[in-house]
Structure 1
């Protein structure tokens, strides 16, 4: 249908228009600290996260992009009343020949490459108004724009549905790990040895046989080794090793809550990760693995973080935290169910991440093809 529309409506190419000639471009006047938890209107800040306010600045259809932070990577579409941070841009089209949703998809496809060409370094840290105004886009007939929007929205809606399903599994996990008062609450210090890694910098050795791990090496239940992972020699390892058995690792500095199960001894640990080694025969390590990822646990930890710029979760908070401890047979059954949930939610080959990634790649492939036009003479 789209090919037929193009042949019928614009067989000789399409007009290219400069954004500054067809749209209003400007920033908001709100500050980030004006967000309100129960606000009535969307409040766009310099983040993918949308907050809320009880008053609005604009009532329109627009594209929203941050002027700082996430430059070229964060885009929002809005139709209605909203508030805007003072370093976030709105692009409101004044020419009726442009479908704003079409422009939204076009910006997502090509705007970052455009601003990167204007960068004097490898990254762009901020956007200025003329950069947006000088961006150009094709303007095919509205019928063609609408059909492209329909196709691309189908992809994004499916991806959103898959992401929501992942959130649904997290809800089920938290429900399964919520117990009544008949289940005792026990402090983790009574169930585990809990400590953190080296408070300092070891002597690195590119040919060392041991890896030096920090919190950023933990992801989706696994330790991630990459080109940036440092190594240490066996002599250095003997100075700083932690007595691992079957162990759970948890990030406690900067990014809180990254987690991994590990039962080998060829790693040493940095201070940004804590270790949990079970000492009680009443606790399954895999059960603890899921408890530490639950919404209840994360909410408690977030309320007990220290530090201003870089957040830190202290060992005392970990040791004092009380978890529900049902009988071992109940823990085993919960682990079986949650293992299935975990595979669906985190397995990069068979689960939702694989399906979401496939849909994103499909979207990007068709988006780039559908939004490429021959300019009119």
Structure 2
């Protein structure tokens, strides 16, 4: 089709020549996100979906006559910041015209094309996540504590504008690939979910079996919770090497590796910032905890294995703030309560659950292997389909 329709190559244009940026919500307080009835696209929604989930249960208060930008079909939403350069500037497209007013969180911005027919949303949802465009997007980002996209630099990103017939055919092929990938991952997820349900069932049974001898205690009575410390993103590498052997944990878990630790020992970590806040991890030895994670140190008389499984069972994400960028305050965590049995019972339960958790984690590693291989295959062909010879001007 390309040989027939554009034998000399495809035209490329800088985004700034064909589009404008549209800002997200402004002037909103925390309470506006707990009392509203207008739908908005959250950071998590934009990060996780090729096409915006317009029916996600995210609401904000927008008063009559208030001037806020509304999203429309074809808008490409860009996540403006992240902890990681690899994850900054992720895209999601408004694939269909919103059925009602739809707003955008303040940590993202949208790209709106002057001529909506230049790039079809069915095509742009794949284009902006292709390697060719993602490589350019990463070059527009910089920062220390957070990696932030520079809008002026972002609008210099150059994108191909193939004929609409080509866009539709590529979108059709990639939609089929995506559906196959989703089906396979759903089958594997169902198997893994069954194992997780088994673990959750036995965990809850074991954690409540000796409830009569347990005492109700606040989190700050059982653990010492302290946020980690800032480290520049430039000091973190993706894979360990001789100079960076220390694992570094942020709000979403493992961020990469650094040169020196700021923590050591057998510890539990709680993510406190970002879409994955409330996630619970366990690590031992030397490690680095950033300011977006909380280091949990059991107090005397508290077993660390029991602590890990107990905090896992508490679904801490439910206590996150309902703002555009979800967060968990240490003060909020400290006030939560749980039932704490005697130490000998904690040790017994912790050992059993460690074994169950190990079995589930082993399955979690083995089952997705095929899905990962398929995803790599899909990404390879996606990037092939979305790589064009540029027309000489």
Query: Is this a same-fold pair by TM over 0.5?
Result: yes
Q: d(CA) in 1 for partners of 2:288 and 2:42?
A: 39
Q: Find the counterpart in structure 1 of residue 121 from structure 2.
A: 100
Deviation digits for residues 253-292 of structure 1 (CA, Å, limit 9, x no counterpart): 8576543376xxx769999633459979xx9x76664333
The alpha-carbon deviation at position 199 of structure 1 amounts to 12
Residues 84-99 of structure 1 aligned to structure 2 (within 5 Å): 84-85=104-105, 88-93=108-113, 94-99=115-120
The alpha-carbon deviation at position 293 of structure 1 amounts to 1.5
Give the 3 Å change call, closer, same or farther, for CA 105–38 of structure 1 in structure 2. same
The alpha-carbon deviation at position 139 of structure 1 amounts to 1.9
Q: Find the counterpart in structure 1 of residue 249 from structure 2.
A: 216
Contact persistence 2:246–2:257 (CA under 8 A): no
In structure 1, the gaps of 5 or more residues are 202-211, 233-240, 243-247, 304-308
Q: Find the counterpart in structure 2 of residue 75 from structure 1.
A: 91
Q: Find the counterpart in structure 2 of residue 369 from structure 1.
A: 384
Instruction: Please state if 1:139 is matched with 2:152.
Output: no
Contact persistence 2:268–2:280 (CA under 8 A): yes
Contact persistence 1:43–1:85 (CA under 8 A): yes
Q: TM-score, normalised by structure 1?
A: 0.60
Q: Find the counterpart in structure 1 of residue 23 from structure 2.
A: 27
SS at match of 1:60: coil
Q: d(CA) in 2 for partners of 1:293 and 1:315?
A: 13
Q: d(CA) in 2 for partners of 1:38 and 1:84?
A: 14
The alpha-carbon deviation at position 22 of structure 1 amounts to 4.0
Q: Find the counterpart in structure 2 of residue 42 from structure 1.
A: 40
Instruction: Please state if 1:16 is matched with 2:39.
Output: no
**Equivalent in 51, 64, 77 of residue 77 of structure 2:** 64
Moved more, 131-140 or 118-127: 118-127
The alpha-carbon deviation at position 90 of structure 1 amounts to 2.0
Instruction: Please state if 1:184 is matched with 2:211.
Output: yes
Q: d(CA) in 2 for partners of 1:215 and 1:120?
A: 19
Contact persistence 1:198–1:269 (CA under 8 A): no
Q: d(CA) in 1 for partners of 2:197 and 2:38?
A: 25
SS at match of 1:48: helix
Q: d(CA) in 1 for partners of 2:279 and 2:255?
A: 15
The alpha-carbon deviation at position 13 of structure 1 amounts to 2.0
The alpha-carbon deviation at position 250 of structure 1 amounts to 0.9
Q: d(CA) in 2 for partners of 1:42 and 1:35?
A: 10
Give the 3 Å change call, closer, same or farther, for CA 36–157 of structure 1 in structure 2. farther
Contact persistence 2:298–2:307 (CA under 8 A): no
Give the 3 Å change call, closer, same or farther, for CA 86–359 of structure 1 in structure 2. same
In structure 2, the gaps of 5 or more residues are 49-55, 63-68, 230-244, 322-326
SS at match of 2:388: coil
The alpha-carbon deviation at position 83 of structure 1 amounts to 0.4
Give the 3 Å change call, closer, same or farther, for CA 343–224 of structure 1 in structure 2. farther
The alpha-carbon deviation at position 231 of structure 1 amounts to 9.4
SS at match of 1:250: strand
Instruction: Please state if 1:341 is matched with 2:360.
Output: yes
Q: d(CA) in 1 for partners of 2:224 and 2:200?
A: 26
Q: d(CA) in 2 for partners of 1:66 and 1:199?
A: 25
Q: Find the counterpart in structure 1 of residue 150 from structure 2.
A: 127
**Equivalent in 322, 341, 346 of residue 339 of structure 2:** 322
Q: d(CA) in 1 for partners of 2:104 and 2:11?
A: 31
Greater radius of gyration (CA): 1
Residues 148-167 of structure 1 aligned to structure 2 (within 5 Å): 148-156=170-178, 162=185, 165=189
Contact persistence 1:30–1:86 (CA under 8 A): yes
Q: d(CA) in 2 for partners of 1:218 and 1:43?
A: 21
Query: How many residues were matched structurally?
Result: 328
Contact persistence 1:218–1:259 (CA under 8 A): no
Contact persistence 1:197–1:268 (CA under 8 A): no
Give the 3 Å change call, closer, same or farther, for CA 260–32 of structure 1 in structure 2. same
Q: d(CA) in 2 for partners of 1:288 and 1:142?
A: 56
SS at match of 1:13: coil
Contact persistence 1:24–1:91 (CA under 8 A): yes
